[in-house]
Amino acid sequence: MCGIVGVLGNHEVAPILVEALKRLEYRGYDSAGIATVQDGRLDRRRAVGKLANLSDALVHDPLAGKSGIGHTRWATHGGPTVTNAHPHQAGRVAVVHNGIIENYRDLRARLAHRDFHTETDSETVAQLCEEHMDQGLPPREAAVATLKDLDGAYALAFLFQGEADLIVAARKGSPLAIGHGDGEMFVGSDAIALGPMTNSVTYLEEGDYAFVTRSGVEIHDAEGRLANREMRTIPAQSTQLDKGGHKHFMAKEIFEQPVVLSDCLSHYTGAEIELDFTQTDRVVLVACGTAHYACAVAKYWFEQMADLPCDVDIASEYRYREGPVSPNATAIFVSQSGETADTLAALRYVKEKAARVVSVVNVPESSISREADLSLPILAGVEVGVASTKAFMNQLGVLANLAILAARQRGTITPGRAEELRETLRALPGLINQALACEDQIASHTAELSEARSVLFLGRGPMFPMAMEGALKLKEISYIHAEGYASGELKHGPIALIDNAVPVIVFAPRDALFDKTVSNMQEVMARDGKVWLITDADGAREAGDGTWATLVMPQVDPILAPLLYAVPAQLIAYHTALHKGTDVDQPRNLAKSVTVE
């Protein structure tokens, strides 16, 4: 997703802006640019592709100035070209934008007399602001008048010719933080971007706009009233971006899982969760992508452990389907970033209807966290790799705790069984460590996997969503087509794909349905299919013969096995991507946080 930075500094800002943009690279982007004010004059440099290209452009054609704004663009309206890259400039105004201006066609029509240069929705913001200035409004008032005309979602930063001590920042739908320095001020999409410059941060709230100068910030709410927003001190570790000796953030995050899961579980062991599942008639779980698969696993837990009906929905479908929502439902929204536009919109849709709106998020100051009645942090720490790994793990950790809580409150499991499940959870970080030790064994098969044109993942019960998550991880970072199926569904269609060029990865701990999954595996092998069985020692003993590969995981209570089997799923994707030589941490076309529809 696009990233925004702004600096009113005491030194040359071009290198500072580029460094700050580097810290936003993890969000995904396909072009970048900066604008500065020098001797009252606005100027900008932009480049397509990685930030190195922008740095090169700046070496050949430096940009001076102590005030500036910068942007990494993830193309939505118009391809990734230099012309479409931000900052957009119209006369005396330069603008960087994250989000979508939904009424940009109307605005363009209204401004048809002006000279538009790009295919973007964002340029309308700069043109509109310049139009207001042409009509006599000074910069601050022109920016505020512009905001009034915009529909859609945005984080915006405006920079003005002749104004070396002003950035106007605004937030509606996309987060924006103001950083406080010593005689310097900053603007950033998140605290991570601002990390090296300051750890004193004020988050704008929905509808806020701010006049930022070197001496401070004046924030107004959506109605234009002066607003007091808390200044927070951000702990250094939550803005640190280092790979900890790994080649990629994704690898670091996979290997962090025992520690972050253990931290998360200890937090929820000690914490009283203020939720009463005795009065609720169903659980509604809504999310996107990997977070949606975490919800799909949790459905098995809520239904099997707590005898509680559970609907799982993809947020982009849920928000428009207008399905009935029981007033007694507990609606749970799961999101790593807490800013996913569809999940946030679904939360807002359900807020008036369900008894209780709960969020399970990684970023505590995010919109989804703030707008829920109860927010449960997953405590995974900053996740930089676009492919979500440790956040998935900790989403499962929190949801498992909730399902056990629901089961105890509703009397559907005995205290003994609840303790057994908690004991299994507590043992999982150790088991995950054992699974991580299988890395070399996994890597030894991924060269061959990387040659595949298509890969199927199969699983039953809670391993079915794990199969879908395994397929998502593989396609995201290796660009190999992959699908996750319920094992029993194989013969209803996907079996037509089977030949010796389509590897089939089967997640199957030795559980009550193991024999059925083995039958499905046999159907694949009978058609010359290559099966990679991921199971435990009992499963390998019973069904490991004749497979292309068999990986033995530690023994674990099958109902909680998805937390353990997530590890081979992630490592398979990671090592296959290494063979393919793809950009693991910033795979093509993907953004870390999807703040547009």
Question: Judged by CB, which is closer to ligand M6R: 217, or 361?
Answer: 361
Q: Which residues contact 547 (CB under 8 A, 6 or more apart)?
A: 521, 525, 531, 532, 533
In the complex, which residue's CB is closest to ligand M6R? 289
Distance CA 99, CA 118 (A): 16
Asked if 563 contacts 400 with a C-beta cutoff of 8 angstroms, the reply is: yes
Strand partners, 452: none
Distance CA 6, CA 86 (A): 13
Distance CA 260, CA 394 (A): 7
Least distance (Å) between residue 464 CB and ligand M6R: 17
Q: Pick the catalytic residue: 2, 129, 288, 310? A: 2
Least distance (Å) between residue 291 CB and ligand M6R: 4
Question: Judged by CB, which is closer to ligand M6R: 289, or 470?
Answer: 289
Least distance (Å) between residue 372 CB and ligand M6R: 13
Question: Judged by CB, which is closer to ligand M6R: 126, or 314?
Answer: 314
Nearest of 73, 214, 142 to residue 596 by alpha carbon: 73
Q: Encode 365-379: b = buried (16+ Cβ within 10 Å), e = exposed.
A: bbbbbebbeebbbbb
Question: Judged by CB, which is closer to ligand M6R: 536, or 585?
Answer: 585
H-state helical runs in 437-490: 439-449, 463-478
Q: Pick the catalytic residue: 22, 475, 530, 592? A: 592
Least distance (Å) between residue 591 CB and ligand M6R: 8
Q: Which residue shows structure tokens 């920079």?
A: 159
User: What's the per-residue H, E or C state across 114-173?
Assistant: CCCCCCCCCHHHHHHHHHHHHCCCCHHHHHHHHHHCCCEEEEEEEEECCEEEEEEEEEEE
Least distance (Å) between residue 386 CB and ligand M6R: 5
Q: DSSP of 6-31, one letter per residue?
A: EEE-SS--HHHHHHHHHTTGGG--SE
Cis? peptide before 309, omega within 30° of 0 = no
User: What's the per-residue H, E or C state across 345-364?
Assistant: HHHHHHHCCCCEEEEEECCC
User: What are the respective helix, strand and coil percentages of the chain, to the nearest 5?
Assistant: 40, 25, 35
Q: DSSP of 423-445, one letter per residue?
A: HHHHHHHHHHHHHHTTHHHHHHH
Catalytic: 22? no
Distance CA 18, CA 394 (A): 32
The binding site for ligand M6R (CB under 6 A) comprises: 288-291, 335-337, 340, 343, 386-388, 476, 590, 593-594
Question: Judged by CB, which is closer to ligand M6R: 118, or 340?
Answer: 340
Catalytic: 2? yes
Report CA 582 to chain centroid distance, whole Å: 20
Question: Judged by CB, which is closer to ligand M6R: 22, or 473?
Answer: 473
Least distance (Å) between residue 164 CB and ligand M6R: 37
Least distance (Å) between residue 388 CB and ligand M6R: 4
Least distance (Å) between residue 395 CB and ligand M6R: 8
Question: Judged by CB, which is closer to ligand M6R: 407, or 594?
Answer: 594
Question: Judged by CB, which is closer to ligand M6R: 535, or 593?
Answer: 593
Tell me the catalytic residues.
2, 592
